[in-house]
Amino acid sequence: MIRTMARLEAAMDRRALLRMGACAGLGAALMPRLALAASDPDLLPQVRAVVERWVGPGKFPGMVASLGIPAREPQFVARGSEGFADGDAVTADSLFRIYSMTKPVTGMAAMQLVSEGRLGLDQPLYEILPRYRHMQVQDTYDGPITELHPARSPITIRHLLTHTSGIGYTIIQKGPIKDLMERKGLVAGQISRMKIPGVFEGEPVHGLDRFADRLAEVPLVADPGTRWSYSMGLDLMGRVIEVASGRSFADYLRETIFEPAGMTSTFFQVPQSDAGRLTTNYGALGTLLVPIDTGADSIFLEKPPFPFGGAGLVSSPRDYDRFLRMLAQSGMIDGQRVLAAQAVHAGTGDLLPAGVTIPAAFGGAAGFGAGGRVGRGGEAGIYGWSGAAGTVGMVDTVHALRSQIFVQFMPPNAVDLLPEFQAALKADVMALLEKR
């Protein structure tokens, strides 16, 4: 089932990740009566069968999937262990590298500041970070970095949230612009203590303030507000949040989202006391899964160069479900308000600038909110994103539902797991509806 991987860098293939997000989304047409299923003892028999089929020797060591509906606790399906060489059973409390599922967290943190009037969606970025006042733009996307023109409009907060700022990404860009970003240490995250050729080249810059300053020196790949291009906008948003809030980015997330939402297992740096819960991440090489970051010796046990707002978090399925549940309930969880309802409603809606569309290879008809994909038409109300190591989290804000799958392998398009998960999830949902 595992296909050959040309380069581990393909682990960051964003088209594959968007497909994962799309297939994890629960179509709105299936949802109107799911709340009536609160008394069903097993919500996920088909998903359970898929998880069991994919866990074992020559497949995956462990996997967790979940479905949350109103009026009951989420149902988790967990099978296997935290690693092939790890005897500990994987559970809803195991820790997974969620990579780009960090982006919705950062996006919602920013939307809280917008709701409080401390940021504006269409506020120029240079009002917060003055170095971004006079940006240069490549004449040709990924072309020469010597052929530039002044940006025709300023970068705004909306642009950072929706990947329409024109800021590049080393996992996306090619040629001289990528080389320049790597030389400046503008890498997208961290994978392993091992040096892996072709992946995150360059020594990461240390400090979110230095990251922001260096990124301002790099030409944009497109004029702000004119093109959707997957970017480091959410990483830069971490620095924006620091300046707007007067707190460190990590402290702001902890105090504004994690602690109020009861998320006790979400970290930029995993405490040594929790290392025993950290899963092993694998790279797919031919027909083999090769460990590239073990739980016991993970790079995520170290303090990161800076808190990557685009791909830096480790979390558990139980914790991330609480984040999704909070969004599903308009910012409330367990009777406590975490985020303003206005922040959630706006952030899970379509924030794309007028006239900008997502390329067909990335989902085409979808919209984009604060760091995550949003559905349109029959999928209106669905919001979420996925991670480079095989995690997906989606919420249906219309019907207060959410779904997840957690596994650890790169690249996530090396196997056919996600289409099977999609089919099984829809089958389970249809079965619940047919009982009513």
- Cβ neighbors of 143 (< 8 A, separation 6 or more) are 175, 176
**pLDDT of 3:** 38
Other beta carbons less than 10 A from residue 262's beta carbon = 16
**pLDDT of 31:** 46
Other beta carbons less than 10 A from residue 325's beta carbon = 22
- pTM for the whole thing? 0.92
CB-facing half-sphere around the CA of 200: CA atoms within 13 A: 17
The residue type of 418 is L
**pLDDT of 43:** 86
When computed from its CA atoms, the radius of gyration of the chain, rounded to whole angstroms, is: 20
**pLDDT of 416:** 82
Nearest to 51 by CA among 91, 13, 17, 88: 91
d(C-alpha 54, C-alpha 384), whole Å: 24
Alpha-carbon distances of 82 from 64, 96, 338, 365, 371, rounded to whole Å: 10, 9, 31, 37, 28
Alpha-carbon distances of 360 from 52, 166, 346, 363, rounded to whole Å: 33, 18, 24, 5
N-term to C-term CA, the chain: 37
Percent helix, strand and coil across the chain, each to the nearest 5: 35, 15, 45
**pLDDT of 430:** 79
Q: pLDDT by residue for the chain (436 residues), tens digit each?
A: 443 333 333 333 444 444 444 444 444 444 445 555 555 668 899 999 999 999 998 899 999 999 998 888 999 999 999 999 998 999 999 999 999 999 999 999 999 999 999 999 999 999 999 999 999 999 999 999 999 999 999 999 999 999 999 999 999 999 999 999 999 999 989 999 987 766 666 789 999 999 999 999 999 999 999 999 999 999 999 999 999 999 999 999 999 999 999 999 999 999 999 999 999 999 988 778 999 999 999 999 999 999 999 999 999 999 999 999 999 999 999 999 999 999 999 999 999 999 999 987 666 789 999 999 999 888 889 999 999 999 999 999 998 889 999 999 998 878 888 889 989 988 987 787 676 5
Task: Give me the domains of the chain, ranges plus CATH numbers.
Answer: 8-105+251-434 (3.40.710.10), 125-247 (no CATH)
Say how far residue 308 (Cα) sits from the centre of its chain. 11
- Reported as a single tens digit per residue, the pLDDT across 245-278 is 999 999 999 999 999 999 999 999 999 999 999 9
d(C-alpha 232, C-alpha 221), whole Å: 12
- Reported as a single tens digit per residue, the pLDDT across 31-71 is 445 555 555 668 899 999 999 999 998 899 999 999 998 88
What per-residue string of b and e applies to 379-397 under the rule 16 or more CB within 10 Å gives b? Answer: bebbbbbbbbbbbbbbbbb
d(C-alpha 93, C-alpha 316), whole Å: 5
**pLDDT of 133:** 98
**pLDDT of 198:** 61
**pLDDT of 432:** 72
Q: Are 279 and 291 in contact, with CB atoms under 8 Å apart?
A: no
Q: Are 168 and 218 in contact, with CB atoms under 8 Å apart?
A: yes
